[in-house]
Amino acid sequence: MDSWIHPGLLYILGAFLIPFLPGRYKQVYLLALPAYAFYHVLQMTPGVYGSFQYLGFDIVIGRVDKLSLVFAHVFTLMSFLGFLYGIHVKDDGQHMAACFYIGGSLGVTFAGDYLTVFIFWEMMAFGSVFLVWARKAPASTAAGYRYLLMHIFGGLLLLGGIFLRYQHTGNLDFVLIPEAGAGLAEYLILAGFALNAAVFPLHAWLPDAYPEATVTGAVFMCAYTTKTAVYVLARAFPGYDVLAVMGVVMTIYGVCYATIENDMRRILSYHIISQVGYMVAGVGIGTELALNGACAHAYAHILYKALLFMGAGAVIEMTGRSKLNELGGLYKYMPLALIFYVVGGISISGFPFFSGFVSKSLIVAGAGEAHHPVLMVLMLLASVGTFLSVGLKLPYFAWFGKDSGLRPQEPPKNMLWAMGLTSFLCFFIGIYPQALYALLPFPVTYHPYSGPHFSETVQILLFTGLGFFLLLKKLTPEAKINLDFDWFYRQALAGFMWFDNKAIQGADSWWSELYRTVGLKITMVFAWGLARFDRWGIDGVVDNVAYGTRGLGNRFRAVQSGNIQNYLALAMLVFFVVIGVFILW
Which of residues 447, 473, 499 is at a domain's end? 473
For residues 524 and 380, the model is more confident at: 380
Above pLDDT 90, what percent of the chain?
64
The answer to whether residues 84 and 31 touch, using CB atoms and an 8 Å cutoff, is: yes
Task: Tell me: pLDDT of 568 over 60.
Answer: no
Please count the structural domains in the chain. Answer: 3
My answer on whether 1 and 125 are in the same domain is: yes
Q: What is the mean pLDDT of residues 295-321?
A: 95
Among 442, 473, 504, residue at a domain's last position = 473
Q: Are residues 520 and 391 both part of a single domain?
A: no
pLDDT score of 581 more than 60: no
Q: Rounded mean pLDDT of the chain?
A: 88
What band does 264 get if pLDDT is binned at 50, 70 and 90?
very high
Higher pLDDT, 453 or 314: 314
Q: What angle do CA 134, 221, 341 make, to 5 degrees?
A: 105
Q: What mean pLDDT is predicted for residues 80-100?
A: 95
Residue 275 near residue 297, CB atoms below 8 Å? yes
C-alpha distance from residue 554 to each of 208, 316, 548, 557, 561 (Å): 92, 103, 10, 5, 13
Same domain? For 458 and 519 the reply is: no
At residue 481, the pLDDT reads 78
Does a structural domain hold residue 480?
Answer: no
- Residue 566: the pLDDT is 59
pLDDT band for position 103 (cuts 50, 70, 90): very high
Please report the pLDDT score of residue 471 as a whole number. 81
- Structure-model confidence comparison of residues 540 and 414, the more confident one: 414
Claim to verify: residue 47 and residue 80 sit in the same structural domain: yes
Query: Has residue 584 been placed in a domain?
Result: no
Does residue 478 lie in a domain region?
no
The answer on 466 and 347 residing in a single domain is yes
525: confidence class by pLDDT, cuts 50, 70, 90: confident
Residues 434, 554 within the same domain: no
DSSP 53: E
Q: Please report, as a single letter, which amino acid is at residue 305.
A: K
- The pLDDT tens digits of the residues spanning 143-174 come to 999 999 999 999 999 999 999 999 988 889 99
pLDDT of residue 554: 61
pLDDT (0 to 100) of residue 58: 84
Can you tell me the mean pLDDT for 527-556? Answer: 64
Residue 51: predicted pLDDT: 85
Per-residue pLDDT reduced to its tens digit, 416-469: 999 999 999 999 999 999 999 999 999 998 999 988 889 988 998 888 888 888
Query: Structure pTM?
Result: 0.84
Across the range 502-517, mean pLDDT stands at 73
Provide the strand spans (E) within 134-175: none
| Mean pLDDT on 487-492 | 74
**What is the spatial distance between Cα 30 and Cα 390, in angstroms, rounded to a whole number?**
31
Least confident of 98-112, 336-350, 420-434, 488-502: 488-502
Q: 49 forms bridges with which residues in the sheet?
A: 62
Same structural domain, 323 and 455: yes
- Greater confidence (51 vs 563) lies with 51
Distances in Å between the alpha carbon of 284 and those of 77, 231, 246, 294, 375?
A: 27, 12, 9, 10, 11
Residue 482 lies in a domain: no
Residue 353 pLDDT level (bands cut at 50, 70, 90)? very high
Residue 34: closest CA among 126, 106, 132, 88: 106
Which of 206, 237, 268 terminates a domain? The answer is 237
Q: Express as a percent the part of the chain with pLDDT over 70.
A: 89
Q: Which domain holds residue 119?
A: 1-237
In a domain, 585, yes or no: no
Mean pLDDT (whole number) for 13-36: 95
- Domain assignment present for 583: no
> Mind listing the pLDDT tens digit for each residue in 179-212?
988 899 999 999 999 999 999 888 999 999 999 9
* Residue 226 shares a structural domain with residue 270: no
3-state secondary structure of 91: coil
Identify whether residues 416 and 308 lie together within a single domain: yes
Beta bridge partners of 57: 54
| Secondary structure class of 45 (helix, strand, coil) | coil
Q: Are 355 and 503 part of one and the same domain?
A: no
The SS3 of residue 121 is helix
CB 210 within 8 A of CB 269: yes
Q: What's the whole-number mean pLDDT along residues 388-396?
A: 89
Element (H, E) at 565: helix 564-584
Strand, helix or coil for residue 296: helix
Using left for φ > 0, alpha for ψ between -120 and 50, and beta otherwise, residue 397 falls in: alpha
* pLDDT surpasses 60 at 1: no
What is the average per-residue pLDDT within 274-286?
95
**Which strand (E) or helix (H) includes residue 243?**
helix 241-260
Q: What amino acid is encoded at 310 in this protein?
A: M
- Per-residue pLDDT band for 545 (boundaries 50, 70, 90) equals low
Mean pLDDT of 512-533: 72
CA quadruple 174, 75, 140, 406: dihedral, nearest 10 = -160
Tell me how far the alpha carbon of residue 489 is from its chain's centroid: 17
Same domain, 420 and 525: no
Residues 467-482 have a mean pLDDT of 81
Q: Are residues 227 and 154 in the same domain?
A: yes
- At position 242, the amino acid (one-letter code) is V
Q: Name beta bridge partners: 58.
A: 53
Assigned domain for 349 exists: yes
Q: What does 376-406 look like in DSSP terms, one character per residue? A: HHHHHHHHHHHIIIIIIIHHHHHHSSS----
- CA angle (178, 182, 184) in 5-degree steps: 160
- In the structure, what pLDDT confidence band is assigned to residue 96 with cuts at 50, 70 and 90? very high
Q: Give residue 578's pLDDT band: very low, low, confident or very high (50, 70, 90).
A: low
Preceding omega of 441 cis (within 30 degrees of 0)? no
Start-end of H helices in 432-536: 434-437, 451-470, 486-499, 505-514, 520-532
Give the contacts of 423 (CB within 8 A, at least 6 positions apart).
307, 339, 340, 343, 344
pLDDT score recorded for residue 192: 96
Rounded CA-CA distance 47/195 in Å is 30
Query: Is residue 170, in this structure, part of any structural domain at all?
Result: yes
